[in-house]
Structure 1
Amino acid sequence: MSAPSYASGVSDVPLIGETIGENLRGTARRCGDRDALVACEQGLRWTYAELDAAVDRLASGLLALGVAKGDRVGLWSPNRWEWVLVQYATARIGAVLVNVNPAYRTHELSYALRQSGTSVLFAARAFKSSDYAAMVAQVRDGLSELREVVLFDDDPAWERLVATPADDAALAERAATLSFDDPIDIQYTSGTTGAPKGATLSHHNLLNNGFFVGELIDYTEQDRVCIPVPFYHCFGMVMGNLAATSHGACMVIPAAGFDPAATLRAVAQERCTSLYGVPTMFIAMLADPTFAEHDLSSLRTGIMAGSPCPIEVMKQVIDRMHMGEVSICYGMTETSPVSTQTRTDDPLELRVGSVGRVGPHVEVKVVDPETGLVVERGQTGELCTRGYSVMLGYWGEPEKTSEAIDAAGWMHTGDLATMDDGGYLAIVGRIKDMVIRGGENVYPREVEELLYLHEDVIDVQVVGVPDEKYGEELCAWVRLREGASLEADDVRAFCRERVAHFKVPRHVLFVEEFPMTVTGKVQKYKMRETTIEQLGLVAEEATR
């Protein structure tokens, strides 16, 4: 009889029983004169002593502003040094950081700030085509709890906050009230009901996940981590920032948003030893016309996550980018995020054919979705995970929390997986119909409910279909009211004004009916097959 599909992450290294603020303070004491943060575009370079002092000043400014323990503080910005500063300053005083996706439009922004009860919002003035200041002004009247908006660029309020003298007594008084189990971060993940859910995470969740991700790729204070992935997501702020600061490594921000040439330049100029990205980012860097101009020989490791990596891309990352110890991670926002990870000495076939083994102090099991019983190794079932990394819950939604986390503390991922005899997991499909587009998670229901608002749409179904560049793209099947006339571009324009660009359907099909079961349920798998056939797409096994 085969072994059960269960594994626990045995480790001689204990979990960290500190708040994020305490941990940063300890790193600053050990590594005060070492580089902590480099923002290449902005020309900023801080040592750990300078970062810790800046965190104290902003934290003191927030206390003077009346921010209490547990108050929600929103942050809407691309990657820049101010993001990092707000992340650690809010943690130091026990405020709950609300991560706002830089791609959000007004509808999503308003929902996140209202649902979380955000009272203070930090934001960049603009990024690319998004005028953040204008969008905040547009929705602010409808947000009764939002009392302060602070912009990073040319705003006297920001300048006053970051120049506040450190109030050591007030900071110590607040620190004495904090527990590492306190909620410290809310990250919105699209929900099957159409409204995003706020995964609520603690110091203990985030600090330990960042630390152990860094442990598995052998981080020390000698490492310099290039982080082109967004900070609003766990990939950037946990696997990037917290992995670095818990080891005394340096965080390097190549640019506000991902730019392949800027990332390559940052690696070369700062002699980075580690580089993060989703596979499409690495593909873009390898194809960049300036690739050969950059000396990447300092690289040894890094992390790929978000979607499966093609084997040829992995070979080039190892050979041409010198990342022989690159690691694959799997997880979800609700688990801080990483549950499984490949090790630095795993062979190539396991780095492209699996999502690694269970992480330290974490448990995983693969269960029959119908019975909940653990399946034998090699059999397919739902992947569940348990341990320090599982979120506290969805903010303000206990029923949704209980649907995701069972009575025994297992987080049900909704992903279908197999576990081999070595404990390596492969993701083979999804119970949920979530689409992963270039590393961004999109739930079709959210896009469907948006399109229901269009006066000419009487019914709509959205499915994920294969895409060579992004892994998956959205296709909307639309039924129009009688006499209405819409073009695909009209549908896309309607979405583009209201939601993030990655939620806008690339493909739009106008139909008279949907494939249905005899009991009246829409058969999305048939819609996907039909779309692939009609559009001439190349079908691939759904993976994550």
Structure 2
Amino acid sequence: LSHHNIINNACFVGRRMGYDWRLNTRICLPVPLYHCFGSVGGGIIMAVYGCSLVFPSSGYSGKSNLAAVESERCTFIYGTPTMYVDMLAQPDLAKYDLSSLEGGIMAGSPCPAELVNKVVSNMGIKGLTIGYGTTENSPVTFLASPMDNMERKCETVGYIMEHLEAKIVDPTTGEVLPLGMKGEIMVRGYCVMLEYWGDPSKTSECITKDGWYKTGDIGSMDAYSYLKIDGRSKDMIIRGGENVYPAEIEQFLHTHPKVKEAQVVGVEDVRMGEEVCACIKLVDGQESSPEEIKAFCKGQISHFKIPRYVLFVTDYPLTITGKIQKHKLREEVEKQLGLKRK
């Protein structure tokens, strides 16, 4: 990434968030500074707009985030979906005074609509925005406005950032698809990285000769450039020839009142090639069964998307930045179910 990449990205993210006109912006920043979310969205924005940054704890703690917002009167908070789940799960959430919060950013992995609704209603963050991007793109390419309506915030990751281009293409042919159709998301503009350090072959795989970056993510855009993410192409499950995007099932499972968090992976299956497996964290104190979850899905989502396997878990394998490691989760699940081929 170049100086040009990250300074401009911080500038336009800050402008989208309103940091150029808001007074005394104080950002609670639990995301690490060695990740683009923290370094560009926090550190560089601090330099460009003169915002204050509040680091809630030396190691991640949902409780410390809430305490920092209250004691430091933070006006914005950043986090991955998992971080917001942790904050909402604090048993004494209601005792914290979060009234200073005007907005926040949720990004880093798919943001379920039900989670967005809970953050707005339970934490009172009416100006919450959803962002999308990749480290290779400095990182933000789409971002909602704090003033967007709830439908936009829940169903999309916002609209294209200023001075960038985006298109949705057929992953096989590269042909540009009509509005509303699912395909691979590609981005071009000032934000695209220079290269993968010392790896020209990988760089040429991801960046076309005319400067388009291939995200590897599947989504669709509307006429106003609002983007809906359906999942990563590498996470896609191919079940008996049907393409299944885990994010769609995860979003639906989050609407179950007993579900705190849901992750869906594909596991090996001799007959179908892959089967759908849901790994669910339940709300504290709740009990459920695979049959209950499957019955909840029946008639609500396509039959081939209903999880064949439902496992209840207490945690997920995470990266240091709080993202779910789906490849590790799949390995753990296949081992637990005894599905791994020798």
TM-score (norm 1): 0.45
Matched, 1:205 2:5: yes
Q: Which region of structure 1 is more displaced relative to structure 2, 349-358 or 425-434?
A: 425-434
Secondary structure of the corresponding residue to residue 234 of structure 2: coil
**Residues 99-498 of structure 1 correspond to what in structure 2 (within 5 A)?**
201-219=1-19, 220=22, 222-433=24-235, 465-469=277-281
Change (3 A) 1:465 1:218: farther
The number of aligned residues is 264
Aligned residue in 2 for 1:506 = 332
Structure 1 residues 467 and 244: alpha-carbon distance in aligned structure 2, compared to 1, 3 A threshold: farther
Give per-residue Cα distances to partners, 1:181-237, cap 9 Å, x unaligned. Answer: xxxxxxxxxxxxxxxxxxxx1111111112211211111451000001122211111
Rounded Cα–Cα distance in structure 2 between residues aligned with 1:463 and 1:202: 42
The answer for unaligned runs of 5 or more in structure 2 is 237-245, 251-265, 267-272, 283-322
Q: What amino acid is the match of 1:468?
A: I
- TM-superposed CA distance for 1:279, in Å, is 1.6
Give the 3 Å change call, closer, same or farther, for CA 410–469 of structure 1 in structure 2: farther
Q: Does structure 2 retain, via aligned residues, the 8 Å contact 1:214–1:244?
A: no
Question: Identity of aligned pairs, percent?
Answer: 44
Amino acid at match of 1:346: D
1:383–1:217 Cα change, 3 Å: same
SS in 2 for 1:285: helix
User: Please, what TM-score do these two structures have when normalized by structure 2?
Assistant: 0.70
For the 8 Å contact 1:279–1:309, the answer to whether it is kept is yes
Residue segments in structure 1 that go unaligned for 5+ positions in a row? 1-200, 438-443, 445-460, 471-499, 515-544
Q: 1:463: how far off?
A: 10
What is the CA deviation profile of residues 253-273 of structure 1, one whole-angstrom value per residue up to 9, with x for unaligned ones?
001222111110101111100
Aligned partner letter, 1:395: W
Distance, in Å, in 2 between the alignment partners of 1:270 and 1:379 is 45
- Residue by residue, what CA displacement relative to the aligned partner does 1:372-399 show, whole Å, maximum 9, x if unpaired? 2211101111110011110011000011
Gap change, CA 1:324 and 1:501, over 3 Å in 2 = closer
CA distance in 1, matches of 2:202, 2:23: 40
**2:193 alignment partner AA:** M
Decide whether the 8 Å contact of 1:296 with 1:321 is kept in 2.
yes
CA offsets 1:452-490 (integer angstroms, 9 cap, x no match) = xxxxxxxxx9999543349xxxxxxxxxxxxxxxxxxxx
Instruction: Give 1:512 shift.
Output: 7.1
Q: Offset at 1:242? A: 1.4
Q: Aligned equivalents of 2:191 and 2:127: distance in 1?
A: 24
Deviation at residue 240 of structure 1 after TM alignment: 1.7
In structure 1, C-alpha distance between the alignment counterparts of 2:274 and 2:53, rounded to whole Å: 39
Displacement, 1:315? 2.3
> Cα distance, 1:343 vs. partner?
0.9
SS in 1 for 2:162: coil
Whether contact under 8 Å (2:117, 2:154) holds in the other structure is no
Look up the equivalent residue of 2:280 and give its one-letter code. Answer: E
**Bigger Rg, which one:** 1
Distance 1:244 1:507, change over 3 A: same
**C-alpha contact (below 8 Å) 1:375/1:381 kept by paired residues:** yes
| SS of alignment partner, residue 267 of structure 1 | helix
User: In 2, are the aligned partners of 1:367 and 1:384 still within 8 Å (CA)?
Assistant: yes
Shift of 1:296: 0.6
CA contact (8 A) 1:217 1:325 kept: no
How far apart are the structure 2 equivalents of 1:412 and 1:224? 35
Deviation at 1:432, TM superposition (A): 2.5
Q: Distance in 2 between matches of 1:236 and 1:402?
A: 28
Query: Which amino acid in structure 2 is aligned with residue 203 of structure 1?
Result: H
Structure 2 letter corresponding to 1:314: V
CA contact (8 A) 2:334 2:340 kept: no
Question: Equivalences for 1:22-37 in 2 at 5 Å?
Answer: none
Code of the residue aligned with 1:317 in structure 2: it is V
Question: For residues 1-50 of structure 1, what are the alpha-carbon distances to aligned partners after superposition, in whole Å with 9 as ceiling and x for unaligned?
Answer: xxxxxxxxxxxxxxxxxxxxxxxxxxxxxxxxxxxxxxxxxxxxxxxxxx
Q: Evaluate the alpha carbon distance shift between residue 225 and residue 501 of structure 1 in structure 2; reply closer, same or farther with a 3 A threshold.
A: closer
Residues 1:501 and 1:344: Cα distance change in structure 2 (over 3 Å): closer
Aligned in 2, Cα 1:263/1:512: closer, same or farther, shift over 3 Å?
A: closer
Q: Which amino acid aligns with 1:506?
A: E
